[in-house]
Structure 1
Amino acid sequence: MTHATASATLVATEVIGRMAVLTIDRPEVRNALNRQVLSEIEAALEEFEGREDIGVVVFTGAGEKSFVAGADISQLAGYTLQDGLQARMQRLYDRVQDYGKPTIAAVNGYALGGGNELAMSCDIRIASVNARFGLPETNLGILPGAGGTQRLSRLVGVGRAQEMILTGRIIDADEALRIGLVTNVVPAEDLMDTVAVTADSILAKGPLAVRLARLVVRNGIETDQRTGLLLERLAQSLLYASDEKAEGAAAFLEKRPARFGKSMTGTETERKEHV
């Protein structure tokens, strides 16, 4: 059974099982990001944050050609020093990265500039074979200012990040997979089913374990290894004392699926029923 929320003007939202899907819906301009799109993404994230029936949030783009092709250049042309200091898109993507629920980017086409930066702010990136990635901002006399200079280097290494940013080169899905920018590449027709399977796999795990693992990985990479190991130790100590650990261990010993409350509610079956 599928439950849908009211579609926004430029960002359509749908809840399938415990998976919420945000679709940037401006295919006529390759799903370019403007102020209204950013506002609607912010509103959707605010709504989903407090909903216990939602466990995973997915970002994708409308149509078959683009995930998000970047910022709306018609608005970009009017940006000022104050817009740069406000850094609205960068702050929004920081929120995506630190979101309380796991996030997946279903990259179904061009992910350029702000689109690539949105994908990189998600926990997992799954791409269709026709996906293309790039940070071509230097062509416009600017730099990737929504996290691109920082997240790309952390994902693929400083050397590759410098080359992509300085040249503005666009890479295909196979290269993105090879350098670690995405985690999986699948045929276009299998993209959302693969995303649903991935979401189901996450939702079947202990929700507190998932949340703490994300926190430790994200914050540990920003510090030295010794401090990261301390974060890991403290998070594990919390889990050792949790009901979630007791259930997981009991389920393993009793050779049955763990019952982590609502986390066992699937998305894949409901999506197939919807289709």
Structure 2
Amino acid sequence: MLELLSVSKKNGVATVTIDNPPMNVLSQQVNKELDIVFKQLQEDKEIISIILTGAGDRAFMAGADIKEFPDRDVKKEDEIDIHAVLNGIESIPKPTIAMLNGFTLGGGLELALACDIRVAEDHAKIGLPEVNLGLLPGGGGTQRLPRIVGPSKAKEMMFTGDPLSAEEAYRLGIVNQVVSKGTGMEAAEKLAGKLASQSLQALSRIKHLVNVGSELPLEEGLQMEKQLFNDLFVTADAKEGVSAFIEKRKPVFTHK
């Protein structure tokens, strides 16, 4: 039973909404529900692409639930490791789009960085302010952010804790596109719909090659690309795509 997340599904797209008012913070309950939902969506054969956003127009997620911090040194039996949850979201073999509709700070940015693509409304504020609490980003921020913006800019952001505007985040490559306030979901749905029309056989392999191959020496990455290309070429979807191109029609993929 979900308490702080909701999931809607339409035309191969699942939309996951975090609803933990007022600022959709990353509590232990939200963490648990993210784990449950993304594991379910991974197994859902009807879903090809996923949108993740926050309820309302104030925040995607304004960080962790600081009220839980005083008890953080006490390990609870049912507590789920945030790294395990975000790693699961990052590696799910389906494209994910984070729609940033307001404050995207701390754990919120770390959650967004675990997604493949980020769409931000122009009022979003994006950053890792943990240093202001005498802490450091503990949900992958120190590792994922430098891979996008480079080590020097990542250090500046984390050393100062200052948030970026959506436009600044776009210039740095943290977000893929910036849209007007109130239009983020429309933009995310349009993109997710386009992805859902593609073959999941191809999408999942592309994602794996970028996520894993980028950490390998070039020659090893190229060998893995060669292997996955050959594996993909014999799938029903690849045969359908080639046939549709030759016959000058739109392909109908079955994700097999």
Question: If the TM-score is normalised by the length of the shorter chain, which range does it land in?
Answer: over 0.9
In the alignment, does 2:21 pair up with 1:27?
yes
Aligned to 2:220: 227
CA RMSD of aligned residues (A): 1.7
**SS at 1:227's partner residue?**
helix
1:171 aligns with 2:157: no
One-letter code aligned to 2:159: L
Which runs of structure 2 are paired with 1:236-251 in the superposition (5 Å)?
Answer: 236-251=229-244
Describe the superposition over 1:37-63 as per-residue Cα deviations: whole angstroms up to 9, x where unpaired: 111111212222221111112110111
Describe the shift of the 1:240–1:17 C-alpha distance in structure 2 as closer, same or farther (beyond 3 A). closer
1:207 Cα deviation from its structure 2 partner: 1.3
One-letter identity of the residue aligned with 1:211: S
Give yes or no for contact 1:134–1:171 (8 Å, CA) kept in 2.
Answer: yes
Q: Is residue 135 from structure 1 mapped to residue 119 from structure 2 by the alignment?
A: no
Secondary structure, counterpart of 2:71 in structure 1: coil
Q: Deviations over 1:133-175 (max 9, x none)?
A: 1011111111111110010011111111111011111000000
Post-superposition CA distance 1:200-222 (Å, at most 9, x none): 11112121111000000000111
The runs of 5 or more residues in structure 2 that have no matched partner are none
Looking at secondary structure, tell me which structure has more helix per residue: 1
Deviation, 1:242, is 2.1
Is the CA contact (8 Å cut-off) linking 1:93 and 1:118 kept in structure 2? yes
For the residue of structure 2 that corresponds to 1:63, the secondary structure is coil
Which deviates more, 230-239 or 118-127?
230-239
* Equivalent-residue separation in structure 2 for 1:59 and 1:79 (angstroms): 26
Q: Is the 8 A contact 1:24 1:60 kept in 2?
A: yes
Partner of 1:54: 47
Q: 1:87: Cα distance to partner?
A: 7.3
Partner of 1:76: 69
For residues 132 and 209 of structure 2, the distance between their equivalents in structure 1, rounded to whole angstroms, comes to 36
* 1:246-265 Cα deviation digits (max 9, x unpaired): 111111111111110279xx
Determine if contact 2:199/2:255 at 8 Å carries over to the other structure.
no
Hey, what's the Cα distance between the residues in 1 that align with 2:117 and 2:129? 22
Q: 1:27·1:66 contact (CA, 8 Å) conserved in 2?
A: no
- Residue number in structure 1 paired with 2:38: 45
Q: Does 1:92 align with 2:100?
A: no
Give the structure-1-normalised TM-score: 0.88
The share of aligned pairs that are identical, in percent, is: 36
Say if 2:201 and 2:255, in contact at 8 Å, map to a contact too: no
Report the 3-state secondary structure (helix = DSSP H, G, I; strand = E; otherwise coil) of the residue aligned with 1:189: coil
CA shift, 1:77, in A, is 2.5
Confirm or deny: 8 A CA contact 1:31 1:62 kept in the other structure.
yes
Instruction: Please name the residue that 1:17 is paired with.
Output: 11
Amino acid corresponding to residue 5 of structure 2 in structure 1: V
Displacement after TM superposition at 1:181 (Å): 0.2
Show the counterpart of 1:147. 140
In 1: Cα distance, 2:178 partner to 2:215 partner: 28
Q: 2-side partners of 1:135 and 1:244: how far apart?
A: 41
Tell me how many residue pairs correspond in the alignment.
Answer: 254
Q: Which runs of 5+ in 1 are unaligned?
A: 1-5, 264-275
Partner SS state of residue 126, structure 2: strand
Q: 3-state DSSP class of the match of 2:182?
A: helix
Q: State the partner residue of 1:118.
A: 111
- TM superposition shift of 1:119: 0.3
Question: Bigger CA drift: 236-245 or 120-129?
Answer: 236-245
Q: Is the 8 A contact 1:31 1:61 kept in 2?
A: yes
The aligned amino acid for 1:45 is F
In 1, the alpha carbon distance for the partners of 2:151 and 2:218 equals 19
Alpha-carbon distance in structure 1 between the residues aligned to 2:234 and 2:41: 28
Q: Does the 8 Å CA contact 1:53/1:262 hold for their aligned counterparts?
A: no
